[in-house]
């Protein structure tokens, strides 16, 4: 997906393509947010823009012979207006669509680029004072024709974008002083535009966001990472908070999106998204649509992208973490590794217990060899020492715990024990030293035909540390062939 327009709003650079935008933070020097213009307070702004320019405290967006204007200091545009009739008199409307526009930082001039020519707008007189000048001949030396977008950076230089490259323009020397690759040599994340894929599951329209930096190389197999968000999240929230696509740009990254349920999987129609299957037994009780969604989504991704063998991974946080641990039981063949944050496991329950007691009756996992037909997959499990937000469905009586153990410690120990059994690991008792050393990954080695369990507790709460993203990707990279 190629850039179509760029501007600076609220101190951040915003880049537009189709109906999506990426927000670039200059201090962090990377893309920090992704969104759709129709879902993130841009008002009546359409997709497929031509150009944008800042002027008099507002941003003006151009599409064809119409323009849209933000309020001063805001970004919610109003109704469309006609170029030449409702403003911007003398700008060309018969020369084709604008390719790019920018404001000169010191001269009080705006520049509009079409093909290999440009028009200069004088702010003082509010009209064009140079028409159809040639780019590279009558100024703007080194700037290419047929631009995608342009803006002026806070560092005082102009950046012109075309294809996968940017041209940096020095106003002092009146010429381009660098030509580099977008995303590799600056503008990190700007080469990773989202693609929204849609599928229908049980009569419900579902979607997911796919990031594939190497979409121009359809033959090179690459790993894929699926992420399942927490309660009230969505694909765009996952893009912003996890940024797995930046941590592992060689991988296809899929930000899956839940359905209209609360954090315990009950339908509540309040618009918040989560995952219906909190524990595997709910799937066996008929809650199947999220599993059907995952199966359909993985098939869709495999059809459209060249996924490397034995390199499909799943991870999640909170509601998505519970769902991820459940998929280890329900879909053992589908992924080659797992990571879960801010959750705990319950792999078997007494299905004959009636009523509300069902969710509070956990049983220790004691698998017979014939209960798991596939080789268990490696898993990384993470929980905060002060995570007290997932305890309301925790069994009231767990006979093996120390009386003074924290709730988070109980959940961690129980989950580790269950994962040890599920993954056929060497029986291991967690030592006091391991509990007292936070942020240190411990690995429980596997027996024959098993897979290891990696785990740690971190000093934090349910939200999880930023480092959890790095730990997750490092775990998956180590597993990739």
pLDDT band at 143 (very low <50, low <70, confident <90, very high): very high
Of 73-77, 211-215, 326-330, 389-393, the poorest mean pLDDT is in 389-393
Q: Please list, residue by residue across 26-48, b when 16 or more beta carbons sit within 10 angstroms of its beta carbon and e when fewer do.
A: eeeeebbbbbbbeeeebeebbbe
Of 261-275, 344-358, 362-376, 438-452, the poorest mean pLDDT is in 362-376
With vertex at residue 433, the alpha carbon angle to CA 428 and CA 436, rounded to the nearest 5 degrees, is 120
**Type and span of the H or E element at 51:** strand 51-55
Q: Is the pLDDT of residue 111 over 60?
A: yes
The tokens of 373 are what? 């037909």
| Structural domains of the chain, ranges and CATH numbers in brackets | 5-181 (2.110.10.10), 194-479 (3.40.50.1820)
**CA gap 459, 481 in Å, rounded:** 32
Contacts of 83 (CB under 8 A, 6+ apart): 62, 65, 66, 67, 91, 93
Q: Please list, residue by residue across 312-351, b when 16 or more beta carbons sit within 10 angstroms of its beta carbon and e when fewer do.
A: bbbbbbbbbbbbbbbbbbbbeebbbbbbbbbbbbbbbbee
Q: Is the pLDDT of residue 202 over 90?
A: no
Q: Is the pLDDT of residue 96 over 80?
A: no
**CA gap 281, 284 in Å, rounded:** 5
pLDDT > 90 in the chain, percent: 54
Q: Which ranges of 317-452 would DSSP assign to H, the alpha helix?
A: 319-330, 407-422, 432-435
pLDDT > 70 in the chain, percent: 86
| Bridge partners for 109 per DSSP | 122
Q: Where are the beta strands (DSSP E) in 342-458?
A: 379-384, 442-444, 453-458
pLDDT of residue 403: 37
| Bridge partners for 339 per DSSP | 315, 380
3-state SS, residue 397 = coil
pLDDT 10s digits, 278-289: 888 888 888 899
pLDDT 10s digits, 308-341: 999 999 999 999 999 999 999 898 889 999 999 9
């Amino acid at each position: 997906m190629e850039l179509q327009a760029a501007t600076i709003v609220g101190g951040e650079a915003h880049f537009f393509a189709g109906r999506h935008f990426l927000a670039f933070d200059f201090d962090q020097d990377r893309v920090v947010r992704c969104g759709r213009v129709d879902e993130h307070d841009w008002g009546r702004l359409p997709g497929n823009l031509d150009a944008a320019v800042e002027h008099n405290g507002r941003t003006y967006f151009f599409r064809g012979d119409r323009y849209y204007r933000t309020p001063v200091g805001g970004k919610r545009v109003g109704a469309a207006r006609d170029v030449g009739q409702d403003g911007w008199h003398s700008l060309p409307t018969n020369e084709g669509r604008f390719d790019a526009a920018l404001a000169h930082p010191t001269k009080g001039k705006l520049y509009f680029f079409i093909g290999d020519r440009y028009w200069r707008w004088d702010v003082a007189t509010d009209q064009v004072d140079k028409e159809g000048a040639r780019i590279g001949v009558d100024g703007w030396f080194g700037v290419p024709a047929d631009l995608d977008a342009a803006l002026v950076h806070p560092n005082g230089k102009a950046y012109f974008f075309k294809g996968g490259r940017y041209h940096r323009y020095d106003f002092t020397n009146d010429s381009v002083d660098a030509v580099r690759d977008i995303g590799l040599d600056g503008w990190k994340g700007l080469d990773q535009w989202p693609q929204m894929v849609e599928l229908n599951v049980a009569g419900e329209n579902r979607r997911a966001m796919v990031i594939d930096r190497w979409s121009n190389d359809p033959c090179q197999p690459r790993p894929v990472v699926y992420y399942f968000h927490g309660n009230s999240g969505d694909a765009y929230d996952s893009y912003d908070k996890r940024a797995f696509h930046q941590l592992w740009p060689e991988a296809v990254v899929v930000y899956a999106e839940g359905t209209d349920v609360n954090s315990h999987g009950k339908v509540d129609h309040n618009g918040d998204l989560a995952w219906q299957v909190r524990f595997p037994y709910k799937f066996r009780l008929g809650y199947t649509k999220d599993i059907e969604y995952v199966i359909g989504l993985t098939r869709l991704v495999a059809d459209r992208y060249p996924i490397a063998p034995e390199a499909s991974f799943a991870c999640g946080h909170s509601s998505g973490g519970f769902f991820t641990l459940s998929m280890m039981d329900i879909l053992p063949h589908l992924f080659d590794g797992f990571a879960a944050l801010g959750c705990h496991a319950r792999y078997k329950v007494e299905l004959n217990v009636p009523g509300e007691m069902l969710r509070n009756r956990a049983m220790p996992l004691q698998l017979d060899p014939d209960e798991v037909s596939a080789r268990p997959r490696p898993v990384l499990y993470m929980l905060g020492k002060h995570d007290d937000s997932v305890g309301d469905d925790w069994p009231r009586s767990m006979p093996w715990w120390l009386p003074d153990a924290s709730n988070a410690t109980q959940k961690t120990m129980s989950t580790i024990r269950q994962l040890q059994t599920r993954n056929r690991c060497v029986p291991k008792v967690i030592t006091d030293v391991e509990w007292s050393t936070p942020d240190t990954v411990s690995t429980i080695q596997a027996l024959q035909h098993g897979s290891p369990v990696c785990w740690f507790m971190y000093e934090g709460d349910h939200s999880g540390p930023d480092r959890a993203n790095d730990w997750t990707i490092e775990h998956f990279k180590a597993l990739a062939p």
